[in-house]
Structure formats: C-alpha cells, structure tokens
Amino acid sequence: MDRAGSTIDGAGAGEGAGDAVIDAALAELGVRRMLLAIHDASFPCDPDEDLGRGTPASRATERLLPFVRGLGFTGLQLGPQGQTSRDNPSPYDGTIFSRHTGTVAVRSLRPGGPYAGLVPDRELDARVGGGGGRARPQEAYDATERLLDVAYAAFADGARPDLAPGLGHFVEEHGAAWLLRDAQYAAYARRFGGIASRHWPPAFRRVEDVPAPGEALAREPAARRHAFVQWLAHAEHARFRAAVGRAGLVLYGDLQVGLADADLWAHRAAFLDDYLMGAPPSRTNPDGQPWGYAVLDPAQLPAGGPALQLFLARIEKAFAEYDGLRIDHPHGVVCPWVYRADAADPAIAVRQGARLHESPDLPDHPGLARLAIARPEQLDRSKPRYHDAWVRELDDAQVARYALLLDAIAGVASRSGRSVADLSCEVLSTMPLPLGRVLARHGLGRWRVVQKADLDDPTDVYRPENAQPADWVMLGNHDTRPIFDLVRALPDDARARWTRHLAGRLRLADTGALAAPGRLPTAMLAELFLCAAENVQIFFADLFGYEERYNVPGLVSDENWTLRLPADFERLYAERLARGAALDVRAALALALDARGSTSGLAAKLRAAPPSPSP
C-alpha cells in the first residue's frame, strides 16, 4: 500500500500542508507523485553553517521543505548519499552503506545542537563562510574532516559521555552487516595515505586476508572514529527524514548501480573478477561508457548465496531509511552490459562488450556462456548485440531468472510496507526485451525525459503522449542540460517545431501565447501534467531556472556536481518567476486543465492565486 503522504491523495499527512488548489489540480490530472530531485551537495546553507557544500540537515533546508510542499511536491528524490573521496565528488561513486560525512551539519555541533560540546565555536567559525555559490568539494571535504577529527578526539577524551550508549547501540545494530568492515577499511585507508586498496601492500588488499574486522574497533583509533562519525551521520539523516515528514513530504533514496573502493574491498568475493559493467552504445552515448563498476557474481545469487545476501542487506537498509527508491540503471540488476576487466583500452572494450546473460555462444566472450539465460535460437543476430531486440523471446522461467534481483527489491519493499509503485526505474533510451519483461512482471514503468523527445517520430519513447500510468516523466535530470538553457539555445526551426507541438497538445489556438519569456519551458511542464503518467519529477535546476549544468556525463570537470541553491532560494525563485525565468507550476497546471477541458474552475483559481510562495 502507499504510505501516507507519498501520493497526492495522501499529501499533507504530516504537519506541513501544501496549497489546496495545487493539490486538487494534480489530483484531477491524475498525478499521484511529484518529486523534486536534488542531491545533498545542492541543498542551501546559511553562511554560518556553510562549509562549502550543501547538506540536508541545514536550517536553510528546513525552510526549503515547506517551500516545495507549497508548490505541490509530494516528496524529494535524493541522489546517492554515500561517502565520496576528496578528489571525486560524484555521488554515484560513493559508498553503498557508509553515509557521507557532509551530512553532519555545523548547527548540530554548536551550542543547543545534539553534539554541542565536542567542537569549540572558534573552530567552527574558522571553517564556515563564503555563503553560497557553487559547492567547493575539496574545501568542504577538508573542513568536514577537520571538524570531525576534533569532535571524535573530544568524545574519546571523555566529553559528552551521554553519547556513548547511542554509539554502542548503533555499532550493535550495524556492525556485522557493514560497519565493522567499513571501519577497518577506513583505518587502512588512513594508514596508507588514502590511496585505493589495489595499491595497498598485498597482505591488506582483501578483507579475507586481514584480522577479523571487528577487532579494529579495539585496535585502530581510525576505525573507532569511523564508527563514531557514521553514527553522527545516520542520526542526522534520521532527523532530516523526520523534518521531511513534518513538512508533508516523503523521501526517495537512490540505489546507485556502482560502488566505492571501500565496498569492493569489503565484499570483493561477491563480484566477478574478469568482467566490469558499463553502458553499451546507445542513442544517448553512441560510444558507450566504460564505468568500471564491479558485477555481482550470478553464481552466488541463487539459494541465498553471498552476493544475494549483500544485495539484500543493501536493500533492507535503504528501505529502513527512505520511503521510496530510485533504481539507478536497472539494466545493471537485470541484464548488465559487461566488458573485459583486463582490456588495455576500456573505451574500445566497452564497445565490444556483451550482455551478461545474453551471450550463450559469442566467440569473443566464451566465458559468458556459463552465465547465459537467453538461448542461441532466441537471438536475432541481424542486430548488434546491444540492440533492444537482440533477444527476440523468452519463456516465463527465463524471465524469472532475469528478475531475481528486482524480485528481491520488490520483496523487501513489500515487507517494509511499501508498494512497487514506490520504485522509480531509470530506464532511458534503451529497454532490452529481458528488462521490459521484468518491469512488466512488477507493473513498473520507465522514465520519459521530454527534452530528448524526437518530435518527428510519433513513437519516440521520450514523448509524453506515449507515457503509461506507471511511467515517470520529467523535463530533465541531473545528467541533462537545464531546460531554460536548452530552450534558450534552440535554433529557430526547432523552437518553431516545439511551439507547434505544444500548442497542439495544449489546444492553444494562438501559438503566440508561447512566445513570452519562460512560456515554452512552462508549457513543456504542462504537457507532463497532461499525459497519462502518474509520476512527475522535476530537477531543482529546472524548477529554479538555472542555465548552468549540474553534471556533464563522462566529463571530468571541477564544475560537475557543484551547482547548488543559495540560502535565499525563496527570493531567487520569486525574482526569476516574475520575469519568466523559472518554472511556473501554477500556470503549467492551469494549461493542462484547460487542455483536458476541465470544468472544475481550478484553472481560474490557479491563475488568480499568487504565482509563488512569498519570498
């Protein structure tokens, strides 16, 4: 069943209440979920709590929650919240169990906060400032580590003994599942200067080759520090989630397909040695992408094998901490594209790769034959092996084998009181037959990213008019151009095509109605509300009218992953909305209601109401 507050029907179940007219409009249009997508580093911070990176535990974020609820959002879609390295801020390369230490807010360390007395105010004051602008990942990493060093040293010296029982309970609850191994890794990483585990001395490169990880808490100060800091970070997340609930919102986590070096070290035996996961050639990435992610060993999945136990531990923790989940690249849990781990050139290797379970007799990948689910006669060899129709047919028993991990996710969701409708599957331009059959087995939809729509192809997967109720529709996501940047740069002929298309979909007699500044992006949003999909997601950069990119996939850049909201985000939104430079949710809903021929009078109320929450 759906949890209270997770849909429009249950919105406002917490203390926070949204705008009744917006909620009624979304309900009339059949939109059950509307999520604001925002990653941790992009949350706002007031100057006296700003270490150079956003945090969901900031005072400014507490103001953001009722703000977005007032715009009709029913929840937040976060990115992965694992610990990243100092030099790579991508949340998709973070740890799968340990939380990012940036979750610990400065205000929690100040007088009156839950961890007051561990860090002197002068130390905090020396680290904060700079207020807003893009995130500064390395500066934030260094400042956070310094403050947490001070906090742990004070705790170890006897400050705040009242915290010890809470830490003890946390270690008891999480130690065996993941914390002890992560703490051991942290101790070794500090001992060996922070380099990746493959460069450690041979005797330390595998968790199986070292003393029992549990002993590290008694033997290694760095291991005890890791456990302490993780307790703080997890407690901060719990407080944030409670604040989200009070605002009448729910929280979606992100089940990333990759993992960090710490995870690979701690669980290496659960993964294949000879293959890595990447993205095959596609419409979005014609050359493919050699991600270098480890692949769970299929031989260890049936009958509760070690790989399945690791996967289940991860899912169970996720559903204990979030109300719903985004499944990043679900191909990776159904039919991953793999390439040789020992290839001299990964970029070439990924283009010459194959699907893990669809390669029963490939001469260049003989080692995959033992892992095949699809049979030779079920393949269409007239198509490239990455083609969606490479596998022509499957029987039900084969689909069940493909579905093992997604079945596990659905099972944990059910046991946790969730519905499969609380899963958002990031299926973009490619949907191989095995993945399509597995999603259909659970009634799950795909993503439809409208900015990528081909207006010359009525059957294009990104066009909202092709959406089904279970799908998730959006203007863009963390990997795409912000919608205002894209629209501004449209050539005249493309702009004219979009204008005609939207005028037709929204039943506008005069295309000139879409010529005003900001009108085209808002009309694109209206088309999302108009389509059959019950789930809408809006990336924060689109809502607030940014033209700067948050992330450019495949590009190593100091700008990636650094866009964030300012502390005065209310003023920013109001000012941009007034000049047509931010998404107007009310106007978009009114357009969609008019296009539906609504007689409820809600469209007039939306146009008469204030255009945005007051700054």
Nearest to 18 by CA among 67, 70, 58: 70
Task: Please tell me the total number of residues recorded for the chain in this structure.
Answer: 615
pLDDT band at 15 (very low <50, low <70, confident <90, very high): low
Q: Which of 140-149, 224-233, 515-524 has the lowest mean pLDDT?
A: 515-524
What's the rounded Cα separation, in Å, for the pair 579 and 309? 53
Domain count, the chain: 1
Residue 312 located in a structural domain: yes
Strands (E), 112-267: 250-255
What's the rounded Cα separation, in Å, for the pair 442 and 447? 16
What's the rounded Cα separation, in Å, for the pair 38 and 43? 7
Mean pLDDT of 99-124: 97
Residue 525 located in a structural domain: no
What's the rounded Cα separation, in Å, for the pair 590 and 148? 49
Mean pLDDT of 346-367: 97
Residue 237 located in a structural domain: no
User: What pLDDT was estimated at residue 284?
Assistant: 74
Mean pLDDT of 225-241: 98
pLDDT greater at residue 517 or residue 605: 605
The structure tokens 């659960």 sit at 270
Residue 297 located in a structural domain: yes
What's the rounded Cα separation, in Å, for the pair 396 and 434? 11
User: What pLDDT was estimated at residue 6?
Assistant: 53
Residue 452 located in a structural domain: no
Mean pLDDT of the chain: 94
pLDDT greater at residue 123 or residue 611: 123
Q: How large a percentage of the chain has pLDDT more than 70?
A: 95
> Does the structure show a pLDDT above 60 at 613?
no
Mean pLDDT of 472-497: 96
Give pLDDT tens digits for 282-317: 877 888 999 999 999 999 998 778 899 999 999 999
Strands (E), 162-270: 250-255
Query: Beta-carbon neighbour count of residue 326 at 10 Å?
Result: 25
Residue 336 located in a structural domain: yes
> Does the structure show a pLDDT above 90 at 522?
yes
For 440, the domain range is 267-319+330-418+425-445
Partners of residue 475 on adjacent β-strands: none
User: What pLDDT was estimated at residue 555?
Assistant: 77
Residue pair 30/78 in contact (Cβ under 8 Å)? The answer is: no
Residue 377 located in a structural domain: yes
> Does the structure show a pLDDT above 80 at 10?
no
User: What pLDDT was estimated at residue 297?
Assistant: 97
Give pLDDT tens digits for 528-549: 999 999 999 999 999 999 999 9
Pairing state of beta strands 289-296 and 271-279? antiparallel
Give pLDDT tens digits for 359-390: 999 999 999 999 999 999 999 999 999 999 99
Nearest to 254 by CA among 406, 128, 424, 136: 424
Residue pair 2/443 in contact (Cβ under 8 Å)? The answer is: no
Mean pLDDT of 136-141: 95
User: What pLDDT was estimated at residue 65?
Assistant: 98
The structure tokens 């701690």 sit at 266
Burial 117-144 (b: 16+ CB within 10 A, else e): ebbeeeebeebbeeebebbbbeebbebb
First to last CA, the chain: 37
Residue 485 located in a structural domain: no
